[in-house]
Structures are given as structure tokens and as C-alpha cells.
Chains A and B, each alone.
Chain A
Amino acid sequence: MNLERIPNEEKLSLSRRYYLGGFAFLPFLWLVNVLWFFREAFLKPTYTEQPQIKSYVKKSALGLIVWVAVLTTWITIFQHFRAQWGEVGDYLSFTIPLGTA
């Protein structure tokens, strides 16, 4: 769907829904929100709904950064300490790399 063709109120409602949806553990949705509406929010001449779209995009970006930070920390910890954790590590793992002889 093309953003050019839908009226401003719909854009606002779409952005809002993407923002609210992202709270269901969906940082990817926030990312899509940011990328898709970036132009709309910041690079276009002002229109009535723009400040609200801007705020949604900013909040989505914020949420996204938080998620990325959390995930990165967790992944680093996991990869580093997995072997040392023994059983718990195996239990948490989906795939376990094979050792080299």
C-alpha cells in the first residue's frame, strides 16, 4: 500500500496502531513504524496530524532502542556463559553447536 494515497487521518491511525501493537513483544513492528513513517513525520511539510505521527515515531524508536539493548545484552551473556552453565545452558538452547575434535 502506498502512503501517498491515503488520507492523513488514516496515516495517523495506522501509525498509532503500529505503535500500540509493538507493545506485544514486537520490536520489529516498531522498526517498521519508524522506517515507514519517517518521511511522513520529519521530511514533509507540516499538516495537522503530523505532530502526533512524529510523537508515535519517536516513541517507537525509543522502544526499539530499549529492546535492542536488552536483546543484545541477553545474547552476549548467553553466548558467553552457555558452556559454563552446564545443564541450565543446555535446557535453554535450541541448537547446540557441535564440538570440534
Chain B
Amino acid sequence: MVVVVATIKSVSFYTQKDGQQLIYTPFREDTETVGQRALNSMLNAFIMIGVILVMTLVLVVLYKYRCYKVIQAWLFFSNLLLLFFFSLIYLGEVFKTYNVAMDYFTLAVIIWNFGVVGMICIHWKGPLRLQQAYLIMISALMALVFIKYLPEWTAWLILAAISVYDLLAVLCPKGPLRILVETAQERNETIFPALIYSCNVNIPHGVSLSPVVAMAPTAQPEDDGGFTPAWVNQQQHQLGPMQSSEDSRREIQELPSARPPPVEDDEERGVKLGLGDFIFYSMLVGKASATASGDWNTTIACFVAILIGLCLTLLLLAIFKKALPALPISITFGLVFYFATDNLVRPFMDQLAVHQFYI
């Protein structure tokens, strides 16, 4: 989130409205009446959600029928695109902002290194920290792209709609994400590393595991007691003539190791958070910093709101030991804080400053 805010503040490219919109939001917002605008943005939001839903279903179907190769290839290419193409654009804009000359040779070396090491870290084996860093970077890039190319009201509506969708998709028995996670659980597999961010916590082997086991009466012999369904969020993104398929998925998964034998302690522990979560959190904060009249006040308020939401979500996760959607709580807080701060707190502070009245 910090990366996104920093970029928005410094590089004006991402806040320029050059009139280009994603193909998935065909309705313009610069219309005459408020009613028209509201209608258009709602339609845009519906279309986006529809796209996400379709992509989710496709992914679930592929997973169910064990077309792993297809999924992997898809993820591979979308990451490839992100790591090379988007970072190229990003770097170009950063250099332009700081008025620095850059030659093609050095640029090629930098992008090539960044991209290839990123692919290696995410899809193969690499140090955990580096993998986390790369995942964060691509999430930030996606969020920046969204901020630039989604018109105002559509963006806010999409955030709200996605939270609702998330809630439904994860908690309803027929939700696609729930199916995905349960299928993964049945097959005793982990979801693809390219879609999840894992905060591995190393717990020494001597830790007692019995309380955890007790909480999972239906625990299968090898797997975790608490298990969380995945929330799959996929977006397709099209920039001008480029055809690109970008998908990111989120899930919250907690794998407390419920196995008494220490041999099995090789399982990963720790909380797993899906990448889509990062993207939407960053998008919220980025939008807040880009368009708020309250400037830093609003941004910081949103930041704090999201973090609080995340803590609450993790708390609930510990209590329920089920998959939980990560978005709703944080996004709700974030949105509430944004609109409240923007419209209420800012004028208040201004008035205080004008009258030199310190609380």
C-alpha cells in the first residue's frame, strides 16, 4: 500500500485522465446528469463483477477437472506480462517524472533481471522474502493500473460490490471459492503459490499441538484443522490493442499444523492471504490519495481502517477456523472512513485552522 501511495503522489501519469478506459467498463462517466452517471457506473460495476464471476467459475471448473497445466500456463503468462510489460511502463514513467535519462541497454538489463528472477521466485523456488516482495510489487502494479483506468464512481462501486461478492462466494455453500478450497482440501493439495501470499511463521517443534487438534473433530489424518476457502478474484485487463489475461486470486487460509508426529511438521504454517486482497486494499488507498480533497488525512485514515479491518478478519479467522473472505470488513471500514473523512473531517479541520483553534 505504501508503494502505491508513493507512486500516486509522485508520478502524475497515473492520475491523468486521458480518456482511455478498460474495455470492461464501456460506459463513460462524463455524462450530463447525475442520474445518468450513477446508472453508467452501476452498469460498469456489474460488468466487472460479471467478468470476475465468469473467470472464477472457469478456474474452478479447470481445477475440478484437473487441468492443472492450463491453469499453470495461464498464471505463468499473466505473471510474465505483469512483470515485464507493466513494470516497463512503470519504470518509464518514474524516470520521466524525475527527469532522468536512461538508455535502452541498461533498461533492458534491469527489466530482464527483474522479470526473470521474479518468475523464478514465484513459480519455482526462491527465498521467501523475495517471493513476498515480488508478490507485493505485482499487486501494487495491478492496483495502479486499476486506479488509472477505472473512472471514479465505478471504482468505488466495484470495491463495494467486490466485498459483497467475496462474502457470498466464500461463505455460501455453492460459492465458487468455497468449492475450490474444499476440492483442494479433499485432494490434500496446496493452492498454487503464484496466487497466494504466505506469511510463514516458524514455530519450533516443541510447541504443543493438542489444542488445535481438539478443535477439528473432522480433521483428516494429515491435514489441518482449520481450513479456509478461497476467494477467487480474477480480472481481465485490456490496454488498448493489447490482449492480456490477468488473473489474481485471493484466499485466506490458515494452516495450523494439526499433526502430532513431528515428522509432519514440515507443513507450512502461517496465514495465507490471497493476492486479490492486496490489490483491492492498495486500490482503495491509492484512490483515496489520488482523489481526496483531504489529502493526507484521508489517506492515513483509509490506511488505518484497512489495517484494523485486516486485524479483525484475522481474529475472526482464529475464532472460526474456517475460510473467510478478507475483503468485506476492511473494505467496508475503508470506504466508510474515506467518505466520512473526506466530507466531514476535512472541512472541520479547515475551519479549526482558520480560526486558530487547537484542540
Contacts and interface: CB of A to CB of B under 8 A. Distances in A.
A3 B127 CA distance: 8
Contacts of A82: 101, 103
A71 interface: yes
Interface stretch (A26-34, A41-49, A50-58): A26-34
A82 B104 CA distance: 13
Interface residues of A, number: 29
B109 A25 contact: yes
A32 B130 contact: yes
B128 A78 contact: no
A27 B110 CA distance: 10
Interface in B110-159: 112-114, 116-117, 120, 125-128, 130-131
A86 interface: no
A27 B113 contact: yes
Nearest to B125: A1
B175 to A, nearest CB: 31
Contacts of B127: 1, 3, 32, 35-36
Contact of B117 (A2, A4, A32, A78): A32
Contacts of A24: 116
B107 A94 contact: yes
Given A27-B113, A71-B109, A95-B101, A2 B128 contact: yes
Given A82-B101, A96-B101, A32 B92 contact: no
B106 A95 contact: no
A29 B116 contact: yes
A95 B200 contact: no
A31 B95 CA distance: 24
Contacts of A35: 127
Contacts of B107: 94
Contacts of B128: 1-2
Contacts of A23: none
A14 interface: yes
B19 to A, nearest CB: 23
Contact of A92 (B104, B117, B126): B104
Contact of A71 (B102, B106, B114, B202): B106
Contact of A29 (B104, B117, B266): B117
Interface string A6-30: 0000000010000001001111110
B29 to A, nearest CB: 32
A79 interface: yes
A98 interface: yes
A35 B128 CA distance: 13
Interface in B255-313: 266
Contacts of A92: 103-105
Interface string A90-101: 001111111000
A98 B101 CA distance: 9
Nearest to B130: A32
Nearest to A37: B127
A87 B202 CA distance: 57
A93 B125 CA distance: 35
A74 B107 CA distance: 12
Contact of A94 (B104, B113, B120, B266): B104
Contacts of B64: none
B191 to A, nearest CB: 16
A78 B157 CA distance: 48
Contacts of B125: 1, 14
A26 B119 CA distance: 13
Nearest to B106: A75
Interface of A: 1-5, 14, 21, 24-29, 32, 35-36, 71, 74-75, 78-79, 82, 92-98
Those 3 A-B pairs whose CB atoms lie nearest each other, nearest first: A28-B113, A97-B99, A95-B95
Interface of B: 92, 95-96, 99-107, 109, 112-114, 116-117, 120, 125-128, 130-131, 200, 202, 266
